[in-house]
Structure 1
Amino acid sequence: MENVPDARVLGRILRASTASFTAGCRTLEADLPVFGSLVQAERSDGSAIYGLIHDVRVDDDPFVRQLIAAGDLTDEYVEDQRQRRQVPVEVVVLVVGGRGRDGRIFHVLPPQPPTTLSWVAVSSADEVRQFGQQLTFMRTVLNAVEAPGDELLAAALRQIAAVQGSSDLANAYLVRAGQELARLLGRDPMRLDSILQRMR
């Protein structure tokens, strides 16, 4: 991932399957990844696997338990623990497509998962815009069993709309996405309305 700016690097793959992966990262509170963000796991052949962040887990480590049991926590102890975490923050990602070696974007599950210790980076605004041009990834998110699909889709669509370049383009994108949602969920008007409300 030599061509990815350090600010975009999120962490490395801890575990992966074809449909999801988990990345471990050491990050400060202000830098925690955002629910619904498009991220990518780079592969050695130049391709990438794209996914949407659907869970961020900040597990405790043994030292945190000791600090809490001790009671009086100073700001220095809290800041030191955040800087020197022994247990990584885990970011769980739903796979929604990828980029082939030829640079073309696809919106289906990849044939193989990313490998452990592969770099994971937050996608740039251009990459998010390019990925969001086709809305076929929406069905994958709506059908996700392990992720809160409705909330995740609304968050992802808002973020894709935000990088369209202007408020008019953002609104046009959300209208197009809403029309596609109406096609996909035409037989479930309550679910459709719930997602449309969350997209605002």
Structure 2
Amino acid sequence: MSERESPRDVVRAACAEYGEDAVIDWCVAFLSGEIPGEAAYGAELPKLVAITGSDNPGGWQAPVDPVNYYWIRVWAARVFLYVWRDDVVDTLLIAAGDPAWRVREHVARIAAQRELGQLVDALLPMLEHELPRVRAAAVRAVGVAGEYEHAEAIRPLADDPDQTVRAAVERALEKLESRLDRPIR
């Protein structure tokens, strides 16, 4: 695969070659830890190569430092922006508590894109994350997939020090109000 291929194109190519269900199963296994980092860069490397489009995912020298294994979960989560199966939600509920913020941020992005209301409660702790991009991702997910009671959780972020988060709160409250057809603000 060319380095210039978009993640979407890489995922499409992997699905065309191996089938959507196989790719989804691999990503669930990577994200859940069923396939651990050592195996991902060992016997299971062809699967990781297929979902990243790179013969050397991450560009690290072998052996890969275990501190970088979280990237495997990030790459696996990213796949769910492009292919989907409903049973993935259970894995995402667990991944919403992943120690790596990039994984949690991707879970929020997926929840927003796919309107996965069942993930919103698991994303609420992200509203207090130190990084604005993580807070903003959680706010967006609440706006798209949350319920009336979730508005209370994002309102305090209307005064967030970061403009991106404040703007996300305004849009999220508008979306909640429109989608739920009731006053929120």
Query: Shorter-normalised TM-score: what interval?
Result: 0.3 to 0.5
Q: Specify which structure has the higher proportion of strand.
A: 1
RCO higher in 1 or 2 (8 Å CA, sep ≥ 6)? 1
TM-score by length of 2: 0.34
Q: Specify which structure has the higher proportion of helix.
A: 2
